[in-house]
Chain A
Amino acid sequence: MQNDAGITVLIPTPLRRFTGGDAKVIVAGANVAEVLDALDAAHPGIGERIRDESGQLRRFVNVFVNGQNVRDGQGVDTRLSAGDEVGIIPAMAGGASI
């Protein structure tokens, strides 16, 4: 069910143990950093797998907004609006867009 005020986050298999097995989580946030904060608040422990202590994406993690890799744009500052889809994928030899 699509929540109009929410951002859909797509969770890869190895992180689903934090989400009770859910492949999709809906949270609120105006940019990627806020969405990752909200995701960690809802599912404690998932955040540190994705970002390092300084809040940057870990070297092997790619985040996609509507299929576009945020590393090619504004990174975790990438702005979001309701209905956007945020995907988290361990970088498998790169991956420009999906």
Chain B
Amino acid sequence: MTRVPATVGNERTSVLAETAVVRSIGNTPLVRLRRFERHLGLPESIEIHLKLEWVNPGGSIKDRTALSIIESALAAGDLVVGRTLIDATSGNTGIAYAMLGAALEIPVTLVVPESASDERKRTLAAYGANVVYSDPYEGSDGAIRLVREIVANAPYRYFYADQYNNPANTAAHYRTTGPELWTQTGGRLTHFVAALGTTGTLMGAGQYLAEQAPVQLVGVQPAEAFHGIEGLKHLPTAIVPGIFDPSIPDQIEGIDTDEAFDAARALARAEGYFAGSSTGANLAAAARLGSELSLEGRSACIVVIGCDGGSRYLTTGLWDLD
């Protein structure tokens, strides 16, 4: 294969800055959930704030991750013309890659467990991405193994974005999510709650926040290996992401699928925000934390990541009618 000069990558980097969809990523609202706090019976001294990441154009926090990964690959000359971006994704990162691929004319191939919903598959197709299905019984780890196989067979054809091991994932949140939260709370936040999937949010934003003040960093994972909180990893039994640094979280809370679903439903009914199950897991962890802190008579400003919106899960048990 002919080597493409590095200047091609640089030209694409400048195109990136002028692309409308790229410019609309980030700077999402942070809102205080007063009605949800009251629903939990928390005192005024315990604040819970939610970062509305579904406001991103691709509908989730993963827009930041995908953009940062593509930016750094273009700058490094890893994503030259002729190469296809490939990755394993349980959904939102795939949608973000597909969206950016469409806007930047980068071919995208996504390996998705076959159990993904029709609306997920059709969303990826709408952006023009190529989708390869992996064994549904092997979950997201099965998708990771299949990508590695595909790339090993033809490495020159692909840029393997590798969100689980790519430092640009962490960097996205160190550069954008963390500083936004610090500014939006006026430096008042005391606790930061983020679900662990690739772990990029907690690693990046958490590290940034911990450098500003002694903020408690709370990771959230499913309580059980067999769970229905999409995008989250049960670290004791899953392939642990390479970007995960176990010294960064101050604590890790285990949340049951039912607790996560119930919290997402409570949010919709108390506040009118329609969020997904991982946001529910984060809120359930924040609720637990808030109750403990209030029992100790402490005050707190707890910031929770709202990873994506509820409409991504309309066909799941999350929104089954009672």
Residue numbers of A with Cβ under 8 A of B are: 10-15, 17, 23, 49, 58-62, 87, 89-96, 98
Contacts and interface: CB of A to CB of B under 8 A. Distances in A.
A60 B257 contact: yes
Interface of B: 90-91, 113-120, 136-139, 141-142, 224-230, 234, 237, 257-258, 261, 312-318, 320
B116 A92 contact: yes
A96 B142 CA distance: 20
A44 B120 CA distance: 35
A41 to B, nearest CB: 19
Contact of B115 (A23, A49, A92): A92
B122 to A, nearest CB: 11
Contact of B317 (A10, A11, A49, A59): A59
A18 B320 CA distance: 28
Contact of A90 (B118, B226, B261, B312): B226
B136 A60 contact: no
B223 to A, nearest CB: 11
B117 A59 contact: no
Nearest to A57: B317
B317 A96 contact: no
Contacts of B139: 12-14, 90, 92
Nearest to A93: B117
Nearest to A11: B137
28 contacts: A11-B137, A12-B136, A13-B138, A14-B139, A14-B226, A15-B226, A17-B225, A17-B237, A23-B137, A58-B228, A58-B258, A59-B318, A60-B317, A87-B136, A87-B137, A89-B115, A92-B90, A92-B91, A92-B113, A92-B116, A92-B139, A93-B230, A94-B116, A94-B118, A94-B313, A94-B315, A94-B316, A98-B136
